[in-house]
Amino acid sequence: MSSERVPGDLVPAADEMLFLPLGGAGEIGMNLTLYGHDGAWLAVDLGITFGGDEFPDHPVLMADPAFIAHRRERLAGILVTHGHEDHIGALSYLWPRLRCPIYATPFTAALIRAKLARAGVESAALIEIAPGDRVAVGPFTVEYIGMTHSIPEPNALLIGSAAGCVLHTGDWKLDDRPVIGRGYDHRRLHGLRTEPVLAMVCDSTNAVVPGHTGSEADLFKPLLRLGEQAAQRILVTSFASNVARLATLARVSASLGRRFGVIGQAMERMVAVARATGYWPDDLPALVDGRHLGHLLRSEVFAACTGSQGEPNSALARMARDQHPDMLLDPGDLVIFSSRVIPGNERSVERTHQRLRALGVGLVTDREALVHVSGHPAQDDLRRIYNWVQPPVVIPVHGTPRHLAANAEIARSSHVPEVCVVANGDLCRLNRSGVQRLARIATGRLTVLPDGRLAKVPEDQLRAMRAKVH
């Protein structure tokens, strides 16, 4: 590692792009990446993760932004790729420390606006960018490139500068039959090979998974077959943000002649935002208010609910404990887990499974049937995009060390000239000569205390978290 540049004032030069991950490199979640050029910095995403059963004292965790908070007069803006909590969840906590404009496309902006309002953050400048548009942010130009994922309006960011540009993919998949929203911009992605791309900073979440990631459209028939075999209530739990999944479930319910509704505040809010921004299809059946679903005949009910990760206060967890005010489950009802288990949530999900079985409820997970497809690229998808873009450098992010190593190997086998596997705190310089590590920047984690204040996670607990990841 070079010692020619060490952290001090660390003012980015005009002939370079600096890259610094503070969260999301070597872990899944807590995404926070910095780019520096010509005296200014950009932040990409401000996400959270959850401590889960392993770290119950830390229900919410986020990357410590101290490095950029100390330089906030040079922070030109925060770019948001999409609306998942591991990309926007820390905005309401950390924006008061950064106080710069936030840039997002309309669906994501609506989620952010509601999140900031609930937290009482009223002074943030939130600038909406139309999908596919370009915007100047300080000395940078930023182009939002449409992708497909498990939420509306996922974007890759082409971050341009006088020194060259970086393709920051965000979370993505290659879904040729998306249920909601536009498809990915194949023409623009393929055309990037002619751009002065310095590096591609790429999602690694599914880099250990062979083959291609399936399409959301693949789920209608398997879910319909399961519904045809069920005589009593059908509840499907999924990620609240997966509007396409909710639309599919509504269509399955209509095909079965059942009544559809959603249960859980997060899911209700997501449907409201989807309607307000034009992502809730007009041809879907009218939703039954979640408070009324429990009064219908059991054979009429088809509902989506929160709780796919075993969250203790979710709708499904309260049903499993017989504590939900609007819906009680009976023997013979069916619960479908239309999601994958996020690493770290295995025990809480299994607890929910056990309680449901004790009630005599039938369970179906992605181990028994095709009830979920991922929102991230599998190995063949990564090979396709590397062939399209032909970047000179690939920097894997959004994954544990195992995921980063797998993505790096795929990039090498795809004839990418240079691959750089980084960890949070690795300050790198990107220019026409490639990538150069400059220094290690101190990183840390913040946790949310019961009274809402933020506190640093002690170093011994950080070491334990890193050991779990590895």
Q: How confident is the model at residue 345 (pLDDT cuts 50, 70, 90)?
A: confident
CA–CA separation, 320 vs 143, rounded Å?
Answer: 45
On whether both 358 and 429 belong to a single domain, the answer is no
Tell me what the mean pLDDT of segment 10-35 comes to. 95
255/191 same-domain check: no
Confidence class for position 426, pLDDT limits 50, 70, 90: very high
Helix intervals (H) in 45-132: 66-69, 85-88, 91-98, 106-118
Q: Which two tokens stand for residue 110?
A: 């609506």
**155 shares its domain with 276:** no
Average pLDDT over residues 274-290: 96
Note whether 36 and 132 are same-domain residues.
yes
- Tens digit of each residue's pLDDT (9 = 90 or more) over 116-155: 999 999 889 999 999 999 999 999 999 999 999 999 999 9
- Residue 54 pLDDT > 90: no
Residues of the chain with pLDDT > 90, as a percent, come to: 89
Please say if the pLDDT value at position 213 is more than 80: yes
Asked whether the predicted pLDDT for residue 57 surpasses 50, the reply is yes
pLDDT at residue 172, rounded to an integer: 98
Which amino acid appears at position 282 of this protein? D
Average pLDDT score over residue span 175-201: 96
State how beta strands 75-79 and 102-104 pair: parallel
Cα four-point dihedral sign 424, 468, 90, 239: positive
Look at residue 55 in the predicted model and tell me its pLDDT: 75
Q: Are 444 and 456 in contact (CB under 8 A)?
A: yes
Same domain? For 47 and 90 the reply is yes
User: Is the residue at 37 inside a domain?
Assistant: yes
Q: Are 169 and 147 in contact (CB under 8 A)?
A: yes
Same-domain status, 248 and 165: no
What is the per-residue pLDDT for 445?
94
Q: Using the Cα atoms of residue 179, residue 182, residue 187 and residue 190 in order, give the sign of their dihedral.
A: negative
Give the DSSP letter string of 121-186: -----EEE--TT-EEEETTEEEEEEE-B-SSSS-EEEEEEETTEEEEE--S-B--SS-SSS----H
Cα 417 to Cα 348, 396, 414: the distances in Å are 43, 14, 9
| Average pLDDT of the chain, as a whole number | 94
pLDDT of 469 reads 61
Looking at the structure, tell me whether residues 328 and 389 fall in a common domain.
no
Q: Are 127 and 106 in contact (CB under 8 A)?
A: no
93 backbone dihedrals φ, ψ, rounded to 5°: -85, -40
Both 186 and 282 in a single domain?
no
Mean pLDDT of 283-292: 95
Give CA–CA dist 140/44, Å, rounded.
13
In the sheet with 418-419, reading across from the earlier edge strand, the strands are 134-137, 140-146, 155-161, 164-168, 197-203, 393-397, 418-419
- Are residue 104 and residue 178 in the same domain, yes or no? yes
pLDDT of residue 314: 96
Q: Which domain holds residue 176?
A: 17-211+374-469
Q: Which helix (H) or strand (E) holds 19?
A: strand 17-23
Q: pLDDT tens digits, residue range 382-393?
A: 999 999 999 999
Pick from 158, 159, 171: nearest CA to 83 = 171
Q: CB-based burial of residue 266 (10 Å sphere; 0-12 exposed, 13-18 middle, 19+ buried)?
A: middle
Tell me the pairing of strands 102-104 and 126-128. Answer: parallel
What are the distances in angstroms from CA 238 to CA 172, 213, 247, 264? 18, 18, 12, 11
pLDDT at 2: 40
**159 and 28 share a domain?**
yes
CA-based torsion, 456, 461, 463, 469: positive or negative: negative
Residue 5 lies in a domain: no
pLDDT at 244 over 80: yes
- What is residue 344's predicted lDDT score, i.e. its pLDDT? 76
pLDDT at 358 over 50: yes
Domain CATH code at residue 293: 3.40.50.10710
- In this prediction, residues 358-364 reach a mean pLDDT of 97
Mean pLDDT of 341-353: 90
Pair 189, 220: CB distance under 8 Å: no
Residue 344 and residue 416 in one domain: no
Give pLDDT, residue 460.
77
Residue 7 falls inside a structural domain: no
Task: Tell me the mean pLDDT in the region 68-82.
Answer: 97
- Work out the average pLDDT over 209-214: 96
Q: What are phi and psi of 274, to 5 degrees?
A: -60, -40
Q: Check pLDDT > 80 for residue 270.
A: yes
Q: Write down the pLDDT at residue 325.
A: 95
pLDDT at 454: 93
Across residues 236-242, what is the average pLDDT? Answer: 97
pLDDT at 3: 38
Which secondary-structure segment (H or E) carries 251? helix 243-256
CB 78 within 8 A of CB 46: yes
Query: Is it the case that residue 458 has pLDDT exceeding 90?
Result: no
Answer whether residue 9 is part of any domain.
no
Task: Please name the residues in contact with 323: beta carbons below 8 A apart, sequence gap of 6 or more.
Answer: none
Q: How confident is the model at residue 470 (pLDDT cuts 50, 70, 90)?
A: low
Structural domain includes residue 10: no
- pTM, rounded to two decimals: 0.94
Question: Which domain-ending residue is among 319, 335, 364?
Answer: 364
Rounded mean pLDDT of 427-453?
A: 94
Please list, in sequence order, all residues whose beta carbon lies within 8 angstroms of the beta carbon of residue 274, skipping any fewer than 6 positions away: 107, 152, 180, 243, 246, 280
Measured CA distances, 333 to 204, 240, 294, 361 (Å): 37, 21, 12, 5
CATH code of the domain in which 171 resides: 3.60.15.10
At 234, the pLDDT band (50, 70, 90 cuts) reads very high
**In the prediction, which pLDDT does 336 show?**
98
